[in-house]
Chains A and B, each alone.
Chain A
Amino acid sequence: MMKQRFLLLFVICFLGACTREASSYQFDKPVKVKVDESTIVLTGFPARLQALNDSTAGMIVNQRYLSLYDLNSGKNILNFSADKIDFDSLLQATYQQHYAGQRNYLYDSSAAGGLTNGSCQLHSFYFADNKFYIYANAEVEVQYINDSAKLAGSMKDPKVQAVQQQYGNAEFHFMEFAEFMFVTDEHLRLQKIIPSYPSKSLDLHQATAMYQLAFAADEGSLYSFLIPKGDAYQDMRSPIDAGNQFYSVAKIPQNNPESAEFLFSNKDVDYKDFSVKDYYSNTHLFKNSKSGLCFLTGKEIYLVGNGKPVFAKGPLPEDEWINSFFDHDNHIVMTTTAIGKKKNPSKMDVAYAVDSVTSRKIRVYDKTRKSWTCTHELPLSLNTEFDITRDKVIYLEKDKDNYYFTSILYHED
């Protein structure tokens, strides 16, 4: 009797670690490797983590470096920073020429690096075809000397109007972000710089490209996640849809940005239950799979080429969001985060729509049976980016002394 009870308990414990719902996936024990900080000290979790192959990952560190690491040893292999690029000259050769006679662009190196002496901030990157596409922006002053339309638009900004009302005529210094895509080879040697000017074509579609949140690239085009432009929402919990038509992706030809193609409108993608906060803060991600480039909305996964869904939102619980995924032939492996509203939110929590994390999981979805195959709980305390390769889930962890790459190998039985 005692033996049976013990056995039963043991079985329950095993099921708790990995709840099998149909078949057949095993998750190994997490393997931790200390991140080498001998060259670059991490002052926070990286902005983006992408496995480049079985043993190497890249991430944006301290908003200043794209750093490559060996996942097996944690060793820092290579680093790219834009600090050696003369931004003053770059700005004159790009934005100033583009807006010659209309605007003056002024670069101030003391303002570009925040508290330190960097030239710009790196926010995101995409690796494809042995090339790195690295998105950077720098805050610069713009004088609209002969661009009355832009000046009039800027003067309509509610903050500008509030200052004018309170203090009368004031001298305004307008700051804008100058945006660039640095293209390097696999050894992080700079090959090309693509300036990303504000686009009339995007303006016409009331959209702003948010490369810092999600983008992809190939030889000819950049694919950017879009946010609706100038929409005044009541608060962060307001619905993003609200009857307006918007697109969430633009395919922007590198040699002719004005002929952008707009994809995934809110008529194609179900954004009806997305709040403003959901749209802006949950993971949007582009990722290549065997079937082609995929776009993750946080709830669903679509093929960019033909707009067909790879994973539709039905099976995912309402409070759960996908952080990353890997599309296998018959299964999709994904990491998810469930969130819930705080019980006693502060004023700030309400203003910024801050929620509590209630669970983190690895889930496996069977595409043929259209059901979950397996779920595996992750620690709730994780506060990081994830990436998933064909055989492992990778993320970063931190204790009081060090950062670690953690890998969980997974395999079918």
Chain B
Amino acid sequence: MKIKAAMLALAFVSAGCGNSAPKKKYSFIHGIVDFLPIDKSANILIYTINPNDCISCLNGFKDYNGQLYHSANLCLYVISVEREVERKALEKKITYLDLRPQKNKSVIWNKNVFDSINYCTKTNLPLTTAAVYNFQHDSVLFAKPVREITDVREISEALSKKP
């Protein structure tokens, strides 16, 4: 009788609580966004920025970012820098306000995060890129290097897309 009860308990555990069922594997982006003060109920705009990119790409990023009114807690900026000394030097020089630390936006300074996000969005090149990501479905709805985007509406349409 005792054995039967134990078996039953085990069956409940495996079926109901799902402890032994395989866990859903989330993407790298999910893991990053999870810990940021970003509104996870709506589509999130992610810019991965290479500060050494060509001037047209950097201006393209600034142009799109300026045109898209986007709440601070729906946007993530990832800047590709490798060393702390580079980060400090760039932070001092950056004149583009949205990336300044005191702007209280989600800005990550890290080349590995830059590379991993571009890998997840299948734009795995060291280029400044705009991506639209849905946290709830852990899915990338749009991703393109800025140099390939013809019009800001490509991004805004992706932002209003349902996954």
A and B: partners? yes
Q: Which residues of A contact B (CB under 8 A)?
A: 37, 41-44, 62-63, 110-117, 121, 137-139, 159, 162-163, 166-167, 175, 346-349, 352, 354, 400-401
**Cβ-defined contact, A43 with B86, below 8 A:** yes
Give the CA-CA distance A346 to B123 in the complex, in Å.
Answer: 9
Q: Other CB < 8 Å A-B pairs besides A43-B81, A115-B58, 16 of them?
A: A43-B86, A111-B59, A114-B55, A115-B62, A115-B90, A115-B95, A116-B95, A117-B93, A121-B55, A137-B55, A138-B55, A163-B150, A163-B151, A175-B59, A346-B122, A348-B122
Residues 62-88 of chain B: 1 if any A CB is under 8 Å from the residue's CB, otherwise 0? Answer: 100000000000000000011101101
Give the residue name and chain of the A residue nearest to B125 (CB): A348
**Cβ-defined contact, A352 with B125, below 8 A:** yes
**Cβ-defined contact, B125 with A114, below 8 A:** no
Residues of B within 8 A of A63 (CB): 52
> Shortest Cβ distance from A164 into chain B, in angstroms?
11
Give the CA-CA distance A112 to B59 in the complex, in Å.
Answer: 8
> Shortest Cβ distance from A243 into chain B, in angstroms?
29
Give the CA-CA distance A354 to B86 in the complex, in Å.
Answer: 27
> Shortest Cβ distance from A73 into chain B, in angstroms?
19
Give the CA-CA distance A117 to B90 in the complex, in Å.
Answer: 11
Give the CA-CA distance A354 to B85 in the complex, in Å.
Answer: 30
> Shortest Cβ distance from B101 into chain A, in angstroms?
14
Residues of A within 8 A of B52 (CB): 43-44, 62-63
Contacts A114-B51, A117-B95, A163-B150; is A41 near B86 (CB within 8 Å)? yes
B8 within 8 A of A: no
Chain B's interface size range is 20 to 34
Q: Which residues of B contact A (CB under 8 A)?
A: 49, 51-53, 55-56, 58-59, 62, 81-83, 85-86, 88-90, 93-96, 99, 122-125, 150-151
Give the CA-CA distance A139 to B86 in the complex, in Å.
Answer: 25
Give the CA-CA distance A98 to B93 in the complex, in Å.
Answer: 34
Give the CA-CA distance A413 to B45 in the complex, in Å.
Answer: 61
Give the CA-CA distance A252 to B122 in the complex, in Å.
Answer: 43
Residues of A within 8 A of B49 (CB): 115
Pick from A43, A112, A121, A354: contact of B125, CB under 8 Å = A354
Residues of A within 8 A of B89 (CB): 41, 43
Give the CA-CA distance A354 to B82 in the complex, in Å.
Answer: 22
Contacts A113-B95, A347-B122; is A166 near B151 (CB within 8 Å)? yes
Residues of A within 8 A of B59 (CB): 111, 114, 139, 175
Contacts A115-B94, A163-B151, A166-B151; is A175 near B85 (CB within 8 Å)? no
Pick from B83, B88, B125, B151: contact of A401, CB under 8 Å = B83
Q: Which of A62, A115, A121, A175 has the most CB of B within 10 A?
A: A115
**Cβ-defined contact, B85 with A37, below 8 A:** yes
> Shortest Cβ distance from A348 into chain B, in angstroms?
5
Give the residue name and chain of the B residue nearest to A212 (CB): B54
Q: Which of A111, A114, A121, A401 has the most CB of B within 10 A?
A: A114
Give the residue name and chain of the B residue nearest to A111 (CB): B59
Residues of A within 8 A of B90 (CB): 43, 115-116
Residues of A within 8 A of B83 (CB): 400-401
Give the CA-CA distance A37 to B82 in the complex, in Å.
Answer: 15
**Cβ-defined contact, A348 with B124, below 8 A:** yes
**Cβ-defined contact, A43 with B51, below 8 A:** yes
Give the CA-CA distance A352 to B52 in the complex, in Å.
Answer: 18
Give the CA-CA distance A166 to B152 in the complex, in Å.
Answer: 13
Residues of B within 8 A of A116 (CB): 90, 93-96
Residues of A within 8 A of B86 (CB): 41-43
Give the CA-CA distance A139 to B95 in the complex, in Å.
Answer: 17
Pick from B58, B85, B123, B151: contact of A348, CB under 8 Å = B123
Residues of B within 8 A of A138 (CB): 55
Residues of B within 8 A of A401 (CB): 83
Residues of B within 8 A of A346 (CB): 122, 124
> Shortest Cβ distance from A124 into chain B, in angstroms?
14
Give the residue name and chain of the A residue nearest to B50 (CB): A44
Give the CA-CA distance A116 to B62 in the complex, in Å.
Answer: 12
**Cβ-defined contact, B150 with A159, below 8 A:** yes
Going nearest first, the 4 A-B pairs with the smallest beta carbon separation are: A114-B58, A41-B89, A116-B93, A44-B52
Residues of A within 8 A of B94 (CB): 115-116
> Shortest Cβ distance from A61 into chain B, in angstroms?
11
In the complex, 21 of the A-B residue pairs with CB atoms within 8 angstroms, ordered by the A residue number, are A37-B85, A41-B89, A42-B86, A43-B52, A43-B89, A63-B52, A111-B62, A114-B55, A115-B58, A115-B62, A115-B90, A115-B94, A116-B96, A117-B95, A121-B55, A162-B150, A163-B150, A175-B59, A349-B124, A354-B125, A400-B82
Residues of A within 8 A of B58 (CB): 114-115
Give the residue name and chain of the B residue nearest to A354 (CB): B125
Residues of A within 8 A of B96 (CB): 115-116
> Shortest Cβ distance from B66 into chain A, in angstroms?
11
Give the residue name and chain of the B residue nearest to A37 (CB): B85
Give the residue name and chain of the B residue nearest to A401 (CB): B83
